[in-house]
Structure 1
Amino acid sequence: MKNIHCLFLMTVAFCIATLRLQGQATQETTGKAYKNVIRYDLSGALLYGPDRHIVFGYERVLKNNQSISINVGKASLFTADRNDIKTDSFSFNDDLKNNGFKINADYRFYLKKENKYQAPHGVFIGPYAAFAQFKRDNQWAYTDPNSQGKLVQTNLTMNIFTVGGEMGYQFILGKRVALDFVLIGPGFGYYKINAKIKSDLSQAQKEELRGAIKDLITEKFPGLNNILANKNFDNEGDIRTWNFGYRYIIHIGYVF
């Protein structure tokens, strides 16, 4: 969560500095209205790592200062090591697979009364929908003295679907550089998490191992610690819940 706080403070500071810039060439001074933006999710790359989060998007301005956009790309979970999680009987041993993807879309209304420039420059509000899937296979060492070095494999799948509303501001700097900030994005999401265990463990041992998996993802995944605070895996290895979430994104893009 410290990364999110730092990113937010950096965003506020950058916005203040940007608003002081005067005399920059924009579509108002060039006489040409640009209607397309291709963008890169900079905030996701900063939070999760540029190798694990590669999401690109496209925005198209429609009539009446409205636009529609879609963003899609690779998004995998955090990395882990052997010192992250240990229980009385299990310790984290290795990452076997770690992949996933994100896709989201929004419909924006650029507020004419609040904006000096034409869309896609200025304050916007609108609805959004987002879906993310993460898959992760891990290997755990069974540390019981009688286990003789037994290894246990787990398969984790997380599906998150969220709908909500957003408010933000998109700057057009120079002639073609777009900096897009989704600053307020409350939503309501459905979270489905499944943790399969490939081993003949007892039910108590499975509960202990799934508890370690829950500790791992809530420690590493921003926001899940609150959403899963009072949730536990059932006997089939599932957690299903609805909860409130939020959306906060910084994009950098090219206008054309």
Structure 2
Amino acid sequence: MKTLLLILLGAFFIPTTFAQDSLEVASRKNTLKLDLTHNLIYRNAYNLSWERITKPNQSMGFTVGYQEFPQVLNLGENIEAKRESDAGGYKFGAEYRFYLKKENKHAAPRGVYIGPYFTTLGFNTSREIVYTQTAEPQEARYGAKFRLYSLGAQLGYQFVFNDRWSLDLVLVGPSITRYDAGIRLEGDFEFDPEDVQNEILDALINKFPGLSDLLNEKELDSSGKLDVLGIGYRYQFLIGYRFGKYKQR
């Protein structure tokens, strides 16, 4: 944890050392990007990012998107998953980048960059289930919510082609992340809901890379909620289109 904190502090304060006397401002200051990373993890993911050059080798960016929780077929040994009745989610984020003059031959947004970022993810999912551990199978419906709040630092490289297209790769992005989860069972049943809720939680968190280790042996409280602070990671693959008034350099 100490190492992570040093990385985060460095990303916030050290970049100003590299940010002085930069290259000329890029000819087009805006880049609109499609984030393809979440398409590999979540369902129906549509995330857009906008990057704006603010200084010769600095930029700010914002992200907004919609995504649904991954399909979970196996919820536990004694739980049969039925029809999913609701699914949805969102992503919001902001970041600031410092393109390193000593490492880059070209003006931003092309080349190596570092900087801080913040993201928040939210997911809602509801499903009908059948619990088979009782003498007779009993039906119920669960509603689950996940909220992730991440503050971190990233290292990446952005390629620019023909002054119009970009390929943006976030290679390293550790963060301090707050994981907030909640599950509620509804229906006319006789089994103990706490046991079933925790079994469902275990199945759902396995869809988040590395989260199962963090929440190992963690259980929901009596109200069906779980709130944990831990380490998160960020890796991204984005394709962008650059626009804005062209200036001859």
**How does the TM-score come out when normalised to structure 1?**
0.80
Which aligned pairs between 1:1-256 and structure 2 lie closer than 5 A?
33-49=27-43, 52-81=44-73, 84-88=74-78, 90-144=79-133, 146-147=135-136, 149-199=137-187, 201=189, 205-256=192-243
Q: Which residue of 2 aligns with 1:20?
A: none
> Per-residue displacement from partner, 1:193-231 (whole Å, max 9, x unpaired)?
0101113556x7212211221222122222221221131
Amino acid at match of 1:176: R
Q: Which residue of 2 aligns with 1:19?
A: none
Amino acid at match of 1:45: N
8 Å Cα contact 2:76/2:203 also seen in 1? no
Task: Please give the alpha-carbon distance, in whole angstroms, between the structure 2 residues aligned to 1:41 and 1:199.
Answer: 39
Amino acid at match of 1:183: L
Task: Please give the alpha-carbon distance, in whole angstroms, between the structure 2 residues aligned to 1:230 and 1:168.
Answer: 35
Percentage identity across aligned positions? 33
8 Å Cα contact 1:80/1:95 also seen in 2? no
Task: Please give the alpha-carbon distance, in whole angstroms, between the structure 1 residues aligned to 2:46 and 2:163.
Answer: 25
> Per-residue displacement from partner, 1:106-129 (whole Å, max 9, x unpaired)?
000111111010000011110000
Deviation at 1:144, TM superposition (A): 4.4
Amino acid at match of 1:85: L
Amino acid at match of 1:41: D
Amino acid at match of 2:128: Q
8 Å Cα contact 1:78/1:221 also seen in 2? no
- For structure 2, the residue ranges without an aligned partner over 5 or more in a row are 1-23, 244-249
Deviation at 1:142, TM superposition (A): 2.4
> Per-residue displacement from partner, 1:3-42 (whole Å, max 9, x unpaired)?
xxxxxxxxxxxxxxxxxxxxxxxxx9xx971111000001
Amino acid at match of 1:142: Y
SS at match of 2:32: strand
Amino acid at match of 1:69: G
8 Å Cα contact 1:45/1:53 also seen in 2? yes
**How does the TM-score come out when normalised to structure 2?**
0.82
Aligned residues: 220
> Per-residue displacement from partner, 1:46-68 (whole Å, max 9, x unpaired)?
2334xx21100110001131100
SS at match of 2:37: helix
- For structure 1, the residue ranges without an aligned partner over 5 or more in a row are 1-27
Aligned in 2, Cα 1:162/1:236: closer, same or farther, shift over 3 Å?
A: same
8 Å Cα contact 2:138/2:189 also seen in 1? no
Deviation at 1:145, TM superposition (A): 5.4
Task: Please give the alpha-carbon distance, in whole angstroms, between the structure 1 residues aligned to 2:177 and 2:115.
Answer: 17
Amino acid at match of 1:113: K
